[in-house]
A and B are shown apart, each in its own frame.
Chain A
């Protein structure tokens, strides 16, 4: 069981680079503390070199299955806390051993190994070793019969978070002969792998689109790629997949040269961003007709996107689309204001409310002065940049505190592999 990932950072309009989906932390797993007495002293994370060597001795394919199972269980326990992670992240020998055991015959061992690796991949220090296995991991990811494709997917999504490793992941994707097109194909094919939901392909795509070259591919006008992702902004079965796609779309919205195409009839992105933000409110006929067809006559039980972070990303994406004059015009024409106005009245999360207000200002405000028309290209004086960055850090810090208060370690779920 995976803890929901850390959340996307707020994006100011001065940002000139897309963000990866998650700025802090990674997908980590942690064991449940109680009732697992079978573990080898899991409560004590410290380990001297002798103990480490002894433990490493169990991490082989030909170790007795019960011992191997206990060893990987113990490792997973270690990776559940910061000290254990720091300890293991600096040990390429352990990482390599765990990678090897993902090919073990015992499913429990494979699962524990993957989950340990997922936890460890949060630390950038592990990436060098893990990146060597990218070709194998990608092959497993896209193998429709591989039972642990979900774990691989989560691992890759963690790895692609950091820009350098992300580039390596992308390279491997391209070199494996199948390319990004296949990742998109797997994403869009319901039941691609009967044993894995592959929802983490969403965050993976989102992370990959921090690179301009992946954005170029998704936004290739002669193909049909980004269009196929659009329906997933309303994918109810998984907030991971939905959030991933919306993060991907938001990243794509940084490419202002594509804004007119994205907003035009060929892609028609805007309704897909607005629909999750729309509620069941009824509009007068005249106003209703101004909305995109997808937003007209919504049923009385229409629900808004449940996750406030996703709502915020949606608003940020729309905001980015208003960066150019032509884009602003198109966004204004399609009744965006009506939807955001209603959302603002309904919204209770302060930061999402703030995002609504920012967007409303652009939608109902005057056109900016000449030279400021393209908000993504405006030059920001250094001192202002610095001040804004300071504010950003401040905001993050506050949000981080709220996060710990509201979720806390108690929300971390145990891995089911451990109790066996």
Chain B
């Protein structure tokens, strides 16, 4: 018997092998596109398609309807979605988990405990996606259904911690500890939130103190400027209380183009002002910048140092200290004033038509009797030294 059966089997196999040599197996994969076809079989699918079309994927649609049978109660369906979400959650596929829990909630089932769990679990998934606000609103929804759901409270505390709402984080922890006074996560989170809150308060105090100090220094500086009768050029408004704004502006955009150092006028320990000063050489389009020009220094002292050697751009070799003339411009009246290089900076700044613009006194340097100078002043009113 056995031998006969074996023979019959062998014969069947032989005929099958013969057949396979000549004709193709009807349900076989196509050698070119087997990978795509493979993916369409539910068991081997790497990803489930977002939309299941029963025409294209009859097997999957079948399975789908077994799991999410529309005939089943909303509670059962919601529960299935919860389990599906939990599976995704375990795989750390939080986006998918959120979708599953959302589907579960859409069933609007009457089991409020289940809904609370769906909200809490969705909150956890959102939390891991970094969507702390969404997580928080889910947790709040969960607690509306079940106020004492400890997992929701813990999640809420963690959300507040991430959102830097430290007092709220602590309050949530304390609420949770009323339910379970020894819940470790809550004790730890409260301590963490407390520590961060106190550090934040320190930072706020520090910033306030700094601001206050800067403000008072600014006021002292302004008073020193005012006391010397130095006038600040204010673009926007000339009202008295706008002066501090003017100064703020002065410190902000004072020296942006020429100096990256952000230098500004300051009072030194002896109560003297030191100004950043800009010299312009219009003939060559050059400039020199002195970051701290002591108010009692004379212009000639700086000129002597600056032009001890001729600058490289002075192709005609004429910028000798003794050849140079200094001017400032009265912008409002479009007039030029020549200044005495023997004068100190303070003396010049106190000139009745001198206005400090953008926090940086600026002066023009020209070569005496040069053709450029004549050209430059052509048609302008120039107040020359007598």
Contact = CB atoms under 8 A, between A and B. Distances in A.
Interface of A: 181, 185, 188, 222-224, 227-228, 265-268, 271, 293-294, 296-300
B177 A293 contact: no
Interface of B: 173-174, 177-178, 181-182, 184, 186-187, 190-191, 194-195, 198-199, 201-202, 205-206, 208-209, 212
A276 to B, nearest CB: 15
21 contacts: A185-B178, A222-B184, A223-B181, A224-B173, A224-B187, A224-B190, A224-B191, A227-B191, A227-B194, A265-B191, A265-B195, A268-B195, A293-B198, A293-B199, A297-B202, A297-B205, A297-B208, A297-B209, A298-B205, A299-B205, A300-B212
Given A227-B190, A227-B194, 10 more contacts: A222-B184, A224-B177, A224-B187, A224-B191, A228-B174, A293-B199, A296-B205, A296-B206, A297-B208, A300-B212
Contacts of B191: 224, 227, 265-267
Contacts of B194: 227, 268
> Taking chain B's interface residues, is the majority helix, strand, or loop, or is none over half, making it mixed?
helix
B202 A294 contact: yes
Contacts of B181: 181, 223-224
A299 B202 contact: no
Nearest to B182: A222
Nearest to A288: B206
A296 to B, nearest CB: 5
Contact of B187 (A181, A223, A265, A299): A223
Given A222-B182, A268-B195, A294-B198, A299 B209 contact: yes
Given A228-B174, A265-B191, A266-B191, A223 B182 contact: yes
B264 to A, nearest CB: 23
A410 to B, nearest CB: 42
A334 to B, nearest CB: 14
B206 A297 contact: yes
Contacts of B208: 297, 299
Contacts of B209: 297, 299-300
Contacts of A300: 209, 212
Nearest to B200: A293
Contacts of B182: 222-223
A185 B181 CA distance: 11
Given A266-B191, A268-B195, A293-B198, A224 B205 contact: no
B154 to A, nearest CB: 14
A185 B177 CA distance: 11
Contacts of A228: 174
B195 A224 contact: no
A181 B180 CA distance: 12
B25 to A, nearest CB: 68
Nearest to B184: A222
A78 B181 CA distance: 46
A293 B190 contact: no
B187 A222 contact: yes
B261 to A, nearest CB: 23
A224 to B, nearest CB: 5
A296 B203 CA distance: 9
A267 B181 CA distance: 16
A307 B384 CA distance: 73
B174 A224 contact: yes
B117 to A, nearest CB: 26
Nearest to B208: A299
Contacts of B198: 271, 293-294
A80 B178 CA distance: 42
Which of B174, B186, B208 neighbours the largest number of chain A CB atoms within 10 Å of its CB?
Answer: B174
A50 to B, nearest CB: 55
Nearest to B202: A293
Contact of B177 (A223, A266, A298): A223
